[in-house]
């Protein structure tokens, strides 16, 4: 299996551990992630709220690169996933918008043709590789590990775009945690937003939202799992700035899966997790 790999600004610039673990896990499962030459920021969810056409056009330019490569796109950021999936769907379904956007894209020598799909890495794992196949590849079941999952809003919503899971009772990430042998625990307010998008407007609100989540998770689980760089940074940062940090490890899903697949702890980028996640070493060995 081959995919065009769209890592997104935040992961490329700051979350090397996430990217590294994603690439390692893909390799282990026989998935080739091909970088997209000339690709830019997805456009951000912010841009689309300011100007619809511009947002769709910047997203479409990236999709066009994948179309030229003849590959479906795999993303690791919920924001990118929503932006690219929404643009892709709207452009496929709305001929008027497509004509308008293609007029803009013509100036940069691109044309949206509607020939590829966009999906988050975790959707690719579940839908294209499959839980059974992944289970059969697990070498170190993470028995006894209790995990709190955080989906992040834009993996699920708006649900008329992100159609693959139930926005009020999602299961994908929990199933993917359970195949590693770990237990995905229920905890209150599991689906609450990380509030990362208003970090630049009311920082204190974001930290308060984040802290409430990690403090809750601490009562139920050994660590928190994310699959989005923004959610990850919120839950990590909100703890780092506390004097009495709850010290709940925040781990990128591919790091967890990588351990279960038998990839070395040292090859999964844990040195870039700023809250010590070495508790995982013991589970992988045991």
Partner 1 sequence: MTERKEIRMSEADKGFRERLMETPGAEKLMLCYQCGTCTADCPVAMRVEEFRPRQIARLAAYGQKERLLGGDTVWLCAGCYTCYERCPEQVRISEIVSALRKLAIKEGIIHPTYRALMNTLAEMGYIYEIDDFQNEMREDEDLPPAPEPDTKEVEKIMRKTGFLGLVEGG
Binding residues vs partner 1 (CB under 8 A): 7, 9-10, 12-14, 16, 19-20, 23, 35-41, 43-54, 57-58, 61, 104-105, 107-108, 110, 153-154, 157-159, 167-168, 192-193, 195-198, 200-202, 205, 208-209, 269, 272
β-pair type (32-35, 2-6): parallel
Q: Which residues pair with 120 in a beta bridge?
A: 75
Residue whose C-alpha is closest to residue 125's, from 229, 224, 14, 33: 33
Residue linked to tokens 């990380």: 194
Q: What is d(CA 166, CA 170) in angstroms, rounded to the nearest whole number?
A: 5
Q: What is d(CA 150, CA 231) in angstroms, rounded to the nearest whole number?
A: 8
The secondary element (H helix, E strand) that includes residue 226 is: strand 223-226
Largest CA distance in the chain: 58
Which residues have CB under 8 Å from 50's CB, separation 6+? none
Q: CA 207, 171, 11 angle in degrees (round to 5)?
A: 45
Contact 176, 125 (CB under 8 A): yes
């Amino acid at each position: 299996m081959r995919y065009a790999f769209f890592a997104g600004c935040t992961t490329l610039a700051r979350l090397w551990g996430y990217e590294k673990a994603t690439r390692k896990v893909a390799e282990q499962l026989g998935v080739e992630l091909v970088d997209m030459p000339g690709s830019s920021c997805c456009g951000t969810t912010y841009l689309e709220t300011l100007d619809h056409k511009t947002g769709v056009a910047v997203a479409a330019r990236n999709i066009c690169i994948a179309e030229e490569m003849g590959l479906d796109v795999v993303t690791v950021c919920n924001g990118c996933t929503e932006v690219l999936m929404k643009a892709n769907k709207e452009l496929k379904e709305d001929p008027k918008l497509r004509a308008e956007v293609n007029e803009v894209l013509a100036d940069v020598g691109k044309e949206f043709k509607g020939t590829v799909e966009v999906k988050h890495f975790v959707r690719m794992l579940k839908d294209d590789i499959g839980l059974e196949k992944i289970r059969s590849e697990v070498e170190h079941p993470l028995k006894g590990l209790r995990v709190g999952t955080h989906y992040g809003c834009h993996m699920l919503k708006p649900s008329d775009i992100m159609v693959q899971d139930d926005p009020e009772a999602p299961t994908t990430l929990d199933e993917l945690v359970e195949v590693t042998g770990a237990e995905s625990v229920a905890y209150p307010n599991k689906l609450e937003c990380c509030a990362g998008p208003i970090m630049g407007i009311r920082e204190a609100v974001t930290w308060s939202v984040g802290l409430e989540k990690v403090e809750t998770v601490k009562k139920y689980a050994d660590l928190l799992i994310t699959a989005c760089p923004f959610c990850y940074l919120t839950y990590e940062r909100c703890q780092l700035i506390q004097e009495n940090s709850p010290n709940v490890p925040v781990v990128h899903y591919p790091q967890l899966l990588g351990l279960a697949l038998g990839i070395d702890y040292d090859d999964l980028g844990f040195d870039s997790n700023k809250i010590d996640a070495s508790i995982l070493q013991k589970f992988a060995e045991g």
